Structure 1
Amino acid sequence: MERSLTLIALFAALIAALGLVPKFTLAFGVPITAQTLGVMLCGTVLGARRGAAAVLLFLALVALGLPLLAGGRGGLGAFATPSVGFLIGWPIAAFVTGFMVSQWRSLPLGLAAGIASVVGGILVMYVFGIFGMMVMLNKTALEATALVTAFIPGDVLKAVLAGFITAGLAKARPASLLSRG
């Protein structure tokens, strides 16, 4: 239990640290950040429940006002922006990613983590992100989906990185990989 809590806190801190990578805000107000890589890694490394818990801890700290989002944003106001759907989708994305990695034991870990990151960390997250942009920007589903296409190349790169990082971590420290344990 203590080890799980430590890893949950560590991965919440990883998401925060990835927020230090300079963000690039698109014209419609949603930033491109490295933090989604952290969300993917929460699922691929910690598994479904612990990964989602790490993201929920991170979001709770943001809601309390800590400036942990890319660009030093934090507080409840961060949940009233066009990116709110993505933020709400983060714990679900981590859960789905972790669940898929745990179920796909027949695939090599790096491949399973990469594919799970695409499904959970991109597709699932985009569903929430599109809905959030529809509400906050008063866009149709088609218009919001068109806006999201700007994120695809970077997110695919992050999913590939998540696969490689997870496989490398499993090789270097097999006991630290909880998604298949």
Structure 2
Amino acid sequence: MTDAPRDLGRDLARIAIFAALIIVLGTVTIPLPAGVPITAQTLGVMLAGTVLGPRKGPLAVLLVLVLAAIGLPVLAGGRGGLGVLVGPTAGYMLGWIFGVIVIGLIVRSGRLTWWRTAIGTVVGGILVVYLFGIPVQSLVLGVDLLPTAASTVVFLPGDLLKAAAATALTLALAKAYPPAFGGSIRLERTRARAA
């Protein structure tokens, strides 16, 4: 008898849990006049990348975006519907997909360490998301790219805090419950201390 159905069930459950986490974190939101709210949803995206990795993490994000597309209020501020996917935040949501892949690739490129996790969350969870989000926001709002990029500076401190939180939570989860990573993470070896 094979464990494939059991493994598939576990993977689907983990993807669903992280999709739900992304949705729940979207309830923590601060609207801004620029049209892109400050939200904790990106923390969920970062965690999906660090814990689920580059193959399953994007599936959690895609699940959230599909639910949004069919009209469920799963995005920041209870938004949903196809209109959200073509609005000023559309590029950021597209960036989530690629960002979670980059996070997973960096974090899984070796043993799980705080510095690899921090680099992954900053590069994938901030830089990649901004690289997709800023041009689309500029296009949708009809504002030049440079002022749009400058307007995102207000998000950077919060995003850096979320990257730090994602790093700390990932390392704590790895220590407390390694099976959350689906057996696909190499934990940093701790040096045995002399008694």
CA RMSD in angstroms, aligned pairs only: 1.2
Aligned to 1:180: 185
Q: 1:122 Cα shift?
A: 0.2
Helix, strand or coil at the partner of 2:85: helix
Per the normalisation by structure 1, the TM-score is: 0.94
Q: 1:131 Cα shift?
A: 1.1
- 1:48·1:94 contact (CA, 8 Å) conserved in 2? yes
Aligned to 1:11: 18
2:160 to 138, 144, 156: 156
Question: Is 1:116–2:123 an aligned residue pair?
Answer: no
Aligned to 2:78: 72
Gaps of 5+ in 1: none
Q: 1:127 Cα shift?
A: 0.4
Per the normalisation by structure 2, the TM-score is: 0.88
- 1:112·1:163 contact (CA, 8 Å) conserved in 2? no
- 1:109·1:166 contact (CA, 8 Å) conserved in 2? no
Gaps of 5+ in 2: 1-7, 187-195
- Residue correspondence of structure 1 range 63-102 to structure 2 within 5 A: 63-102=69-108
> What is the count of residue pairs matched by the alignment?
178
Helix, strand or coil at the partner of 2:166: helix
- Residue correspondence of structure 1 range 125-164 to structure 2 within 5 A: 125-164=129-168
Aligned partners of 1:149, 1:32: CA distance in 2, in Å?
Answer: 12
For residues 73-98 of structure 1, what are the alpha-carbon distances to aligned partners after superposition, in whole Å with 9 as ceiling and x for unaligned? 00111112211110111111111101
Higher relative contact order (CA 8 A, sep 6+): 1
Query: What's the % identity of the aligned pairs?
Result: 51
For residues 16-67 of structure 1, what are the alpha-carbon distances to aligned partners after superposition, in whole Å with 9 as ceiling and x for unaligned? 111122x112211100100000000000000001001110011100111110
- Greater Rg, structure 1 or structure 2? 2
Q: 1:146 Cα shift?
A: 0.5
Question: Is 1:168–2:172 an aligned residue pair?
Answer: yes
Q: 1:109 Cα shift?
A: 2.4
Aligned to 1:47: 53
**More moved, 130-139 vs 157-166:** 130-139
Aligned to 2:34: 28
Q: 1:158 Cα shift?
A: 0.2
Opposite residue 10 of structure 2, the aligned amino acid is: R
